[in-house]
C-alpha cells in the first residue's frame, strides 16, 4: 500500500516513515545527519561513493543509506566506530587520487570533499599511490574541465543525462583509468554540450567551473582610456547575497550597484532595460507572425543554451525561433550605437561587461553575428560567482555597503524585465505588450498567471483582443525536447512557445552560487517533469 507506514530505530530514536523511504531520508526527517558525497536528491541516488554507509543490526557489513529502503523493526546506527573508520578510509582513498591545490582552487571553501575531509579529520593521506593524470579541457568559451579534481561521483553525468537529457558526458575507460569525459574524449567545445552549466552546479569539487575572465575586466577597469560599462541581469541580484552569507533569495540590488561603482565601472546599468527592448521587439514580431500565420509557433530566443540546443538537434525548426537577440546582447548593441553617440563616446573605446547567471552567455557573446562594424555588442560576460570574487578581491565588505541606484538615462526599466529571470517570465512580458498592441488599449490586468509556476512545462490558453492563443512555457532541455517533438510531428497547436535551457529559468542558471547537496535537498528542486 502506498501509504503503509514502517517503524524503525535510528541512533536510539523511534521513527515512523512511509514504506519505500530510504534510510537517508528517514534519518533526515528525524534530524539525524548522514554525510553524502555522490548523492544529489532526485538526480543522482546511486550509492557510488559509500560515504553514507551505516550499520544495521543483524546484518553483516554496511548498508548504503541513500539507496537502502527501511524495513519494519530495523535498527540503524549512523556513527559507530566501525562506520567512522570506514568513512575515514573512503575519504583517504578519494583524496589520494585528487589534486592537492585546494588553496588556489576556485571551489576552495565551497567544496564538499574539502568539507568532509575537515569534518572527519583527514589531514594526511595514508594511501599515497599512483595518481591518474588528465589533460585540462579549456577550449570552450564557457566551461573548464579539470578532471584531476574529479572524484567520479557522476553527479555531473546525472545532471546532463537525467535532467537535461543531453548526455554530453559519461564515464569512459575502465578501472583505474576511468574518468568522466565525452565520446572520443573530445573537448566539450566539439560535442553536443549546450554550455548550460548544470554540470557545474552539480559538481561537488572544482572539476568543473566556468571559464573565468575577471582578469580581463580588471585590466580594462585600470585603463584610463577605456569607458567600462556593466549591466546586470535580474537573476543576479537575488543570488549574489548568498556568496556573502545572506539568506537564499535576498534581493541585494542596491548593494550590488554600490559594489560595482566601487569596483570602478564608469556606468552601472540594468539589463532589464535591454529586456524591455526585447519585449517590444518580440511581442511585435509575434503579432506579425500571428496575423500572417508565419512559422508558428514562434519560439523565444533569449536563452543561448537553448539556441545552441535547437541548432544542433532540430535545425529544421530554426525558422520558428524569434529573430530577437537576448536582452543583454540587445542592450550591448544599443550602448555601442545610440548611447555612445548621445554621450560622444567612441564605441571602440567602450567595453561592455554583462553580469549573468548563465555561462552559456559567454559563448553567446562571442558568436560572429553578435558584432557590428567589427565590435562585439558585449565584450565580456562574467557570472554571479565571478562578480562575488571581484568584490572579495577588492576587499569590499558587501553586507555593510550603502544603497545605490542604477545610473541614468539607461537605468530605468519596467517591471516586466524583472520577471525574465524565471520560467514563464519572457512569455508573460511579451503577452502583455502583444495584448496592448492588438487591442490598442492599456491593460486593466497585466498578469498572465497561467504561465507562472515551477512546473517544467506549463500549457495555457489566453485570450488577447478576442483571439484565442495557445501558449506553452518549458524550462530545462528535457522538457524542451518534448515540446520540439510535438512541433516536429505536427501534434502542436501552440502559437507561442517560451523555452529556457535551465530548469526553473535563468535564476537557476549555471553561473549562480553553488549549493551543497544538503542545501539543494531542502531548498531547491531540480526535477523538471511536467
Q: How many residues does the chain have?
A: 530
Nearest 5 degrees, angle CA 119-CA 123-CA 126?
A: 120
Q: Is residue 258 part of a domain?
A: no
Instruction: Specify whether 302 is catalytic.
Output: yes
Contact 468, 199 (CB under 8 A): no
State the pLDDT at residue 169.
95
Q: Is residue 376 part of a domain?
A: no
Same structural domain, 30 and 149:
no
Q: Is residue 268 part of a domain?
A: no
Annotated active-site residue in 369, 402, 489, 491: 369
Same structural domain, 19 and 130:
no
> Rounded CA gap, 375 and 404, in Å?
31
Contact 422, 504 (CB under 8 A): yes
The enclosing domain of 459 has a CATH number of 3.40.950.10
Instruction: Specify whether 153 is catalytic.
Output: no
> Rounded CA gap, 304 and 500, in Å?
9
Q: Is residue 146 part of a domain?
A: yes
Task: Verify cis geometry, omega within 30 degrees of 0, for the bond prior to 409.
Answer: yes
Same structural domain, 429 and 497:
yes
Tens of pLDDT, residue by residue over 365-398, are: 999 999 998 999 999 999 999 999 999 999 999 9
CA–chain centroid gap for 476, Å, is: 10
Whether 525 shows a pLDDT value over 50: the answer reads no
**Mean pLDDT across 411-431:** 61
Same structural domain, 15 and 70:
yes
Same structural domain, 70 and 163:
no
CB atoms within 10 A of CB 82: 13
Same structural domain, 188 and 101:
yes
Q: Is residue 269 part of a domain?
A: no
Instruction: Specify whether 130 is catalytic.
Output: no
Same structural domain, 469 and 436:
yes
Q: Per the structure block, which three cell numbers stand in for 340?
A: 555612445
Instruction: Specify whether 49 is catalytic.
Output: no
> Please, how many CA atoms are within 13 Å of residue 139, restricted to the half-sphere of its CB?
10
Same structural domain, 297 and 434:
yes
Same structural domain, 97 and 75:
no
Instruction: Specify whether 428 is catalytic.
Output: no
> Rounded CA gap, 486 and 530, in Å?
14
Annotated active-site residue in 38, 111, 160, 302: 302
Dihedral, CA atoms, 479, 501, 481, 180, nearest 10 degrees? Answer: -100
Domain end among 17, 47, 79:
79
Whether 216 shows a pLDDT value over 80: the answer reads yes
The enclosing domain of 171 has a CATH number of 3.30.70.20
pLDDT band per the 50, 70, 90 thresholds, residue 527: very low
Phi/psi for 330 (5° steps) reads -65, -40
Q: Is residue 335 part of a domain?
A: no
This prediction's pTM: 0.90
Task: Verify cis geometry, omega within 30 degrees of 0, for the bond prior to 502.
Answer: no
Domain end among 56, 79, 102:
79
Domain end among 79, 100, 125:
79
Q: Is residue 466 part of a domain?
A: yes
Q: Is residue 498 left, alpha or beta, with left meaning phi > 0 and alpha meaning psi from -120 to 50?
A: beta
Q: Is residue 434 part of a domain?
A: yes
If we measure between CA atoms, which residue out of 431, 513, 530, 528 comes closest to residue 159? 528
Instruction: Specify whether 364 is catalytic.
Output: yes
Q: Domains in the chain: how many in total?
A: 3
Annotated active-site residue in 282, 386, 428, 498: 282
Phi/psi for 239 (5° steps) reads -125, -30
Tens of pLDDT, residue by residue over 118-170, are: 999 887 776 666 777 888 999 999 999 998 999 999 999 999 999 999 999 99
Whether 110 shows a pLDDT value over 50: the answer reads yes
State the pLDDT at residue 524.
47
Annotated active-site residue in 210, 242, 243, 285: 285
Same structural domain, 200 and 309:
no
Tens of pLDDT, residue by residue over 283-336, are: 889 888 888 888 999 999 989 999 999 999 999 999 999 999 999 999 999 999
The enclosing domain of 66 has a CATH number of 3.10.20.740
Nearest 5 degrees, angle CA 362-CA 363-CA 367?
A: 120
Same structural domain, 112 and 187:
yes
Whether 437 shows a pLDDT value over 80: the answer reads no
Tens of pLDDT, residue by residue over 236-285, are: 999 999 999 999 999 999 999 999 999 999 999 999 888 888 888 888 89
Same structural domain, 112 and 75:
no
Range of the domain at 96: 92-211
Amino acid at each position: 500500500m502506498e501509504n503503509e507506514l514502517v517503524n524503525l530505530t535510528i541512533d536510539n530514536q523511534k521513527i515512523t516513515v512511509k514504506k519505500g523511504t530510504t534510510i537517508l531520508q528517514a534519518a533526515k526527517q528525524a534530524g539525524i545527519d548522514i554525510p553524502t558525497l555522490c548523492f544529489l536528491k532526485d538526480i543522482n541516488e546511486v550509492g557510488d561513493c559509500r560515504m553514507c554507509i551505516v550499520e544495521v543490526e543483524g546484518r553483516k557489513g554496511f548498508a548504503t543509506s541513500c539507496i537502502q529502503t527501511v524495513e519494519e523493526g530495523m535498527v540503524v546506527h549512523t556513527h559507530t566506530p566501525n562506520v567512522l573508520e570506514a568513512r575515514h578510509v573512503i575519504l583517504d582513498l578519494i583524496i589520494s587520487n585528487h589534486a592537492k591545490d585546494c588553496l588556489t582552487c576556485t571551489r576552495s571553501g565551497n567544496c564538499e570533499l574539502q568539507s568532509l575531509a575537515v569534518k572527519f579529520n583527514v589531514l594526511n593521506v595514508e594511501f599515497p599511490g599512483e595518481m591518474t593524470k588528465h589533460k585540462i579541457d579549456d577550449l570552450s568559451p564557457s566551461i573548464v574541465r579539470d578532471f584531476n579534481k574529479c572524484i567520479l561521483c557522476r553527479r555531473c553525468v546525472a545532471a546532463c543525462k537525467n535532467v537535461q537529457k543531453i548526455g554530453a558526458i559519461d564515464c569512459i575507460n575502465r578501472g583505474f583509468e576511468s574518468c568522466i569525459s565525452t565520446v572520443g574524449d573530445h573537448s566539450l567545445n566539439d560535442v553536443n554540450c549546450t554550455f548550460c552549466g548544470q554540470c557545474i552546479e552539480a559538481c561537488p569539487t572544482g572539476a568543473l567551473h566556468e571559464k573565468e575572465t575577471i582578469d580581463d575586466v580588471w585590466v580594462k577597469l585600470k585603463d584610463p582610456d577605456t569607458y567600462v560599462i556593466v549591466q546586470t541581469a535580474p537573476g543576479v541580484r537575488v543570488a549574489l547575497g548568498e556568496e556573502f552569507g545572506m539568506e537564499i533569495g535576498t534581493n541585494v540590488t542596491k548593494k550590488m550597484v554600490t559594489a560595482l561603482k566601487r569596483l570602478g565601472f564608469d556606468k552601472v546599468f540594468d539589463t532589464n532595460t535591454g529586456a524591455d527592448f526585447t519585449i517590444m521587439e518580440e511581442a511585435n514580431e509575434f503579432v506579425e507572425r500571428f496575423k500572417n500565420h508565419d512559422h508558428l509557433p514562434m519560439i523565444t530566443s533569449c536563452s543561448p543554451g537553448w539556441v545552441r540546443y535547437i541548432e544542433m538537434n532540430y535545425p529544421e525548426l530554426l525558422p520558428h525561433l524569434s529573430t530577437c537577440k537576448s536582452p543583454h546582447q540587445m542592450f550591448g548593441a544599443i550602448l555601442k550605437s545610440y548611447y555612445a553617440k548621445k554621450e560622444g563616446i567612441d564605441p571602440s573605446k567602450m567595453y561592455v561587461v554583462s553580469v549573468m547567471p548563465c555561462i552559456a552567455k559567454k559563448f553567446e557573446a562571442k558568436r560572429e553575428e553578435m558584432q557590428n562594424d567589427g565590435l562585439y555588442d558585449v565584450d565580456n560576460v562574467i557570472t554571479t560567482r565571478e562578480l562575488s570574487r571581484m568584490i572579495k578581491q577588492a576587499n569590499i565588505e558587501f553586507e555593510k555597503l550603502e544603497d545605490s541606484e542604477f545610473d541614468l538615462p539607461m537605468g530605468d526599466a519596467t517591471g516586466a524585465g524583472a520577471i525574465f529571470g524565471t520560467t514563464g517570465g519572457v512569455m508573460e512580458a511579451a503577452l502583455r505588450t502583444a495584448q496592448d498592441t492588438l487591442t490598442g488599449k492599456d491593460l486593466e490586468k497585466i498578469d498572465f498567471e497561467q504561465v507562472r509556476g515551477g512546473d517544467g512545462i506549463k500549457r495555457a490558453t489566453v485570450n488577447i483582443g478576442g483571439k484565442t492563443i495557445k501558449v506553452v512555457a518549458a524550462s530545462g532541455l528535457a522538457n524542451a525536447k518534448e515540446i520540439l517533438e510535438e512541433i516536429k510531428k505536427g501534434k502542436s497547436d501552440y502559437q507561442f512557445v517560451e523555452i529556457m535551457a535551465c530548469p526553473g529559468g535563468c535564476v537557476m542558471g549555471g553561473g549562480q552560487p553553488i549549493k551543497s547537496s544538503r542545501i539543494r535537498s531542502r531548498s531547491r528542486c531540480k526535477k523538471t517533469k511536467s
